[in-house]
Amino acid sequence: MGNSFGTIYKLSSFGESHGPAVGGVIEGCPAGLEISVEKIQAELNRRRPGQNALSTPRNEADSVEILSGLFEGKTTGMPIGFIVRNTDHNSSAYEHLKDTYRPSHADYTWQQKYGLRDYRGGGRSSAREHISRVVAGAVAKQFLALKDIKINAYTSQIGDITLPISYKELNIETIDNPINCPDAAIAEQMMELLKTVRAEGDSVGGCVSCVVRNMPVGLGEPVFDKLQARLAFAMMGINAAKGFEYGDGFAVAAMRGSEHNDTFTLKAGRIAPLTNHSGGIQGGVSNGEDIFFKVAFKPVPTIMREQQTVTMQGEPLTLQAGGRHDVCVVHRAVPVVEAMTAMVLMDALLADKIGKI
């Protein structure tokens, strides 16, 4: 339960942080789609650890192995099976935590739910599980590319440093810095903040913004499967995600209808909203404008400071964390946000094909 995502285009993932491998099975991908394994690997390289001083020093190659579903570079219509082997895990660093509940982790809740837990790096609750999502998202991106649908996510906030301008004023397709922020000056400020926070033994959160361009009109289903609801569901399933907003988001609470309403006009030979306060979605269905949304991520709960917790026996304990950890997950979450978006949109496109004559 809870290890599969999607309705028509569907991913079922498996594996733990310190197990031999993580992987998945993709179902519902149409036959005949040309797949570049190199492009899949490029997406994994964007997420993988150990690339720079801003990430955990765990150094994994994250090389994908396709086991089934491809023949002569094309999908066969059969399940696409894949694995990524874990090669740089150090389980001994977690031995002292086997009887300890780490603050703000899944330790206590998973122990209560299942009666046992894998304490080695969090096991299945580790963000290393995201690898499977990135692979499935990379396949979906290649499907969406046939329709010229482009997805670009980027770091828009780290701590109290926020990107102050709209994505329309930035180059969000080519970002050349480790923090994945499209403004070089703001990126430098963010990286300096992370250095300071790391030196203090602390962590920090932030936001990832995402833009989808060249969207067709009419994607999304009524009532329970509105497009924004599916996107929210996808984003809130990412580890450390704490908030989702699309369009004007929570700012609408202070607006009036005269400010927020997207009136219509004729644009490029078609009827289209004159403004885009709705973030490209109205009535749960895409309106052809850019979809844009934001996901908030909490600070990493493992910090190098003393924290008060308890053992499994309820005994009080002062915990000094060890191991290899990120000081912030936001910049590494960027490709994961893109991957989940791609899966939602591919699922919606396939559903649209069977929803009408």
Burial of 115 (0-12, 13-18, 19+ CB in 10 A): exposed
Q: What are 206's two structure tokens?
A: 């932030």
Q: Identify whether 259 is part of a domain.
A: yes
Measured CA to CA, the distance from residue 290 to residue 215 in angstroms comes to 7
CA atoms within 13 A on the CB side of 216: 15
- pLDDT for 220: 96
Q: Identify whether 335 is part of a domain.
A: yes
- pLDDT for 52: 63
Q: Residue 215 in contact with residue 289, Cβ under 8 Å?
A: yes
Q: Identify whether 219 is part of a domain.
A: yes
Total Cβ atoms within 10 A of residue 132: 25
User: What helix, strand, coil percent values describe the chain, rounded to 5?
Assistant: 30, 25, 45
**Residues contacting residue 2 through CB under 8 Å, at least 6 positions apart:** none
CATH (domain of 109): 3.60.150.10
Q: Residue 310 in contact with residue 322, Cβ under 8 Å?
A: no
Which stretches of the chain score pLDDT less than 50?
none
Q: Residue 275 in contact with residue 246, Cβ under 8 Å?
A: no
Q: Residue 243 in contact with residue 205, Cβ under 8 Å?
A: no
Q: Identify whether 357 is part of a domain.
A: no
What order do you get walking across the sheet with 80-85 strand by strand? 4-5, 10-15, 21-27, 80-85, 64-66
CA atoms within 13 A on the CB side of 5: 27
Measured CA to CA, the distance from residue 9 to residue 7 in angstroms comes to 6
Q: Residue 94 in contact with residue 47, Cβ under 8 Å?
A: no
Q: Identify whether 17 is part of a domain.
A: yes
- pLDDT for 95: 66
Q: How many domains does the chain have?
A: 1
Place of tokens 């990107």: 163
Sign of CA dihedral 292, 293, 299, 301: negative
Q: Residue 246 in contact with residue 231, Cβ under 8 Å?
A: yes
Measured CA to CA, the distance from residue 337 to residue 211 in angstroms comes to 10
Crossing angle for the helix pair 330-354 and 37-47, to the nearest 10 degrees? 140
**pTM, 2 dp:** 0.93
CA dist list (Å): 309 to 46, 83, 113, 239: 35, 36, 19, 22
Q: Reduced to 3 states, what is the DSSP secondary structure of residue 227? A: helix
Crossing angle for the helix pair 330-354 and 130-145, to the nearest 10 degrees? 50
Q: Identify whether 90 is part of a domain.
A: yes
- pLDDT for 123: 75
Q: Identify whether 14 is part of a domain.
A: yes
- Note down the domain range covering 21: 4-352
Q: Identify whether 300 is part of a domain.
A: yes
